[in-house]
Amino acid sequence: MSPIEPARPNHFRLSIVLGALGAFSTILVLPYLMALMPEVFKQAQVPFPVLATAQALQAFIFFSLMAYAGLRLGAPLGLDAPLLRAWVDKQPIPAGALRGLRNAAVMGAILGVLIVVLDWATQFMLPQAILDMEQPAWWKGLLASFYGAIAEETQVRLFFMTLMVWVAIKVLRREAKAQDYWLAIIIAAALFGLGHLPAAAQLAELTPEFVLRTVALNMVVGIPCGWLFWRYGLEYAMAAHFAADIVLHVLMALA
């Protein structure tokens, strides 16, 4: 009798869950974006329910596809969302998961404090238009934090970081090594920072100093989140990202 082969992971169901979470977080981030860029939304001249529905549908398709690709490519690389997968497959949550998530959140909060310090130390690199801006209300920052943790981690870590490791081993024709993961972590973190530039361009002129500062500060969170994704799973990167954003967008708005 041949041994029973383990069931193949069901990437489709998990990708749908991540797509739905990404769509929901896209709706949540809209009040924050509307506070930052009111003129952009005024020019759109679209009622909020219509805008939110259109953005959510687009985000659902976008994040579902990215999640599916990331999960499928990441399966042989050890890059996954183990806690959500256990929930979707109705399996027991891995032992120590809650403690691990708590530790990741503490790491994220510390990173958030570090960014606050670095933000203060590099104020001279900011355009005057940014210095004159008022931070959105804390509750809008709270809603936006879900987008950072869910949507951005699905896109940057689960998809882009996984894709870069997969490409590296295909090009080099060997098993993945630690340096492949670290290179992908750093590149994905840089892409994470660059991904904030289109929104920043709506607020002020993109001077070289402003671009460098934006990318560098985002990499402070991006690199540890990439490491957490590699070593433990996507949910741990999400927990750290969420905690960092709570410090930056909620606590700082209340300060």
The residue behind tokens 């169901």 is 13
Note the Cα 215 to chain centre separation in Å. Answer: 14
Mean pLDDT of 93-121: 96
The pLDDT of residue 58 is 97
Instruction: Determine whether 222 is exposed, middle or buried from the number of CB atoms within 10 Å of its CB (0-12, 13-18, 19+).
Output: buried
H helices of the chain, in order, are 11-36, 38-44, 48-74, 82-88, 97-121, 128-131, 138-147, 162-172, 178-194, 197-201, 208-231, 234-245, 252-254
Distance, in Å, from the CA atom of 49 to the CA atom of 90, rounded to the nearest integer, reads 34
Length of the chain: 255
Cut 0.85: pTM above it: yes
DSSP letters spanning 165-213: HHHHHHHHTS---HHHHHHHHHHHHHHHHHTTHHHHHTTS---HHHHHH
Give pLDDT tens digits for 166-220.
999 999 999 999 999 999 999 999 999 999 999 899 889 999 999 999 999 999 9
pLDDT at 68 over 80: yes
Mean pLDDT of 81-110: 95
* Higher-confidence position of 8 and 128: 128
pLDDT at 4 over 50: no
Mean pLDDT of 38-52: 85
The residue behind tokens 């070593």 is 231
Rg, Å, the chain Cα set: 19
Distance, in Å, from the CA atom of 111 to the CA atom of 242, rounded to the nearest integer, reads 11
Mean pLDDT of 54-79: 97
Mean pLDDT of 103-121: 97
What percentage of the chain reaches a pLDDT higher than 70?
Answer: 97
Distance, in Å, from the CA atom of 234 to the CA atom of 231, rounded to the nearest integer, reads 9
**Tokens at 12, concatenated:** 């489709």
- DSSP, collapsed to helix, strand or coil, labels residue 96 as coil
Rounded alpha-carbon distances, angstroms, from residue 119 to 27, 68, 71, 116: 28, 36, 35, 5
The pLDDT of residue 9 is 77
Give pLDDT tens digits for 230-243.
999 999 999 999 99
pLDDT at 3 over 80: no
Residue 250 pLDDT grade (very low, low, confident, very high; cuts 50, 70, 90): very high
Distance, in Å, from the CA atom of 30 to the CA atom of 144, rounded to the nearest integer, reads 8
